Chains A and B, each alone.
Chain A
Amino acid sequence: MIARVLTLGGHDFTSRPQDRAVCELLLRLATTRAGGRPRICILPTAGGDASEQIGRFYSTFGERPCDPSDLSLFRLGTRPMELRDHILGQDLIYVGGGSLLNLLAVWEAHELGAILSLAWREGIVLAGQSAGAMCWFEAGITKSSGKPLPGAGLGLLTGSLCVHYSNEPDRRAAYLDAVADGMPGGYGLDDYAGLIWEGTGPPTAVTAQRGARAYRIAKGEDGVVESPLPARFLPAPAPAALREDIAEFRRIAAMRKRAGWLG
């Protein structure tokens, strides 16, 4: 079983090309794991299970070839779920952004860390952006308490991650200071840059927007070194409307073929 994680510096679920490119990558990773129609579940815990985040996820994946669901720990009162069964039945778990501190605290209260660790070992793809990316590392830089400060993650991936890297200079500065002070080094990810971890090897960097980069951050003899990583560009797929036209064309062509209209 190959453990796979996709960590993203920041993105949104919109119809913009860079967002479509990220969603296409999520869908491809999930489909590879499923070997067919994948099941994709969002954990919106870090945002307090905000309706808006959940709605955007469904509006993006609802029209794609997959079975989307959400596991909302704050909404179990109206919609009870078996946490372990639901998570282990997925092909990809996507963790949304928000408060890293609250994410870890709520997961701990619901004993979700052990379930996610098991999912990871079973080859279920773990993914997320912002707090939902940093949570897989030993540590990240979070604004959960207001100012950017180090915060702990689950530690499935060694080292640390700083998201929104070039986009939020104060967060980047706090990260470089923390690494200089002894926090384990790791990676900086701009919005629309990502790292794909497969097995135990080093990650592959990807980018969905020109200029968005991934950096390796390490403490050396002469201080903290920031090295940009070569990244593969993720092309945006056709927008939904165009995809529907193509699908419709194919359906009609297939029907004609079955009916023998094309000879």
Chain B
Amino acid sequence: MMTLRQIVAFGGGGFSMESGNPLLDDYVLGLTGAARPKVCFLPSASGDADHYIVRFYRAFGADRCEASHISLFRREQGPEDLRAHLLAQDLIYVGGGSVVSLLGVWRAHGVDAILREAWERGVVLCGLSAGSLCWFADAVTGFHGAPRAVEGLGLLPFSNCVHYEPGMDGRRRAYHDFLRDGMRPGYAAEDGAALHFVGAELSRVVASRPEARGYRLDAVGGRVAETPIDTAYLGEPSTAVAA
């Protein structure tokens, strides 16, 4: 069977932001195809915040998966061989926070190269916010004040903008400006929407909220085209077809 390279990039959502709404987390668990998937949480973008790690373990209980985490600030604890541990996972889940700090810490520990290898071997990669931006070639982050462009890992040859909410005009404007200035085309996702890539192609957009959307962004002749993408709400009860 051919190995699928899959990344699910949340604009925002999952256990970090949507307490009591497991739709996106259930979706990524389902992609692994494993009955009891091995899931590893990387909370690096938060500085390995204790409360965040605790919330991950609460959300990813032993009843439905085998959960672990890697704390790069406390390497004396946890798995000694990062590569072996990460490559043995079915799903790697990256938390939110500072994408700039995240990438710095990953590179210092060689995690950037390991994640690429994991992706190529079919480990599903996902995350929200900084944990979404990191997979792309160009990331638009508003975490550190005014929106700025950051170079990500580049597994996906696009730009990305998260928390793309209707009210976030500054972020939207900044992304459009970057695109006009030559940033490569890409995708934005609202909170609750997730971009599911298979290989380097967008496969579908799913959402944990009926109104959440994903967008495709292109710059054509100095103009930015922002196109909403058909987004599948994951909570829709399956329609019963009368026999």
Contact = CB atoms under 8 A, between A and B. Distances in A.
Contacts of B104: 102, 105-106, 108-110
A49 B75 contact: no
A74 B109 contact: no
B108 A50 contact: no
A112 to B, nearest CB: 11
Interface residues of A, number: 25
A77 B143 contact: yes
A144 B76 CA distance: 7
Interface string A133-149: 00000000001111000
Contacts of B75: 99, 143-146
Contacts of B144: 76-77, 80, 110
Interface string A93-112: 00000110110111011100
B49 interface: yes
A110 B48 contact: no
A175 to B, nearest CB: 17
A109 B103 CA distance: 8
Nearest to B150: A109
Given A74-B47, A110-B100, A105 B145 contact: no
Interface in A131-189: 143-146
Contact of B80 (A46, A48, A108, A146): A146
Nearest to A44: B47
A217 B65 CA distance: 51
B105 interface: yes
Contacts of B74: 99
Interface string B98-111: 10110111011100
A146 B98 contact: no
B98 A73 contact: yes
B13 interface: no
A68 interface: no
A106 B48 CA distance: 13
B49 A48 contact: yes
A110 to B, nearest CB: 6
A47 interface: yes
B101 A98 contact: no
Contact of A47 (B72, B73, B109): B73
B45 interface: yes
Contacts of B98: 73-74, 76-77
A101 B47 contact: no
B108 A102 contact: yes
Contacts of A51: 49-50
A76 B143 contact: yes
Interface in B177-235: none
Contacts of A80: 144-145
A74 B95 CA distance: 12
A80 to B, nearest CB: 4
Interface string B40-79: 0000011111100000000000000000000011111000
Contacts of B72: 99, 102
Interface in B140-159: 143-145
Interface of B: 45-50, 72-76, 80, 97-98, 100-101, 103-105, 107-109, 143-145
Given A48-B49, A74-B46, 5 more contacts: A73-B100, A74-B98, A106-B101, A106-B105, A110-B100
26 contacts: A48-B48, A48-B49, A48-B73, A49-B47, A50-B49, A73-B101, A74-B45, A74-B46, A74-B47, A74-B101, A77-B98, A77-B143, A77-B144, A99-B73, A101-B108, A101-B109, A102-B105, A104-B108, A105-B105, A105-B108, A106-B101, A106-B105, A108-B104, A110-B104, A144-B75, A146-B76
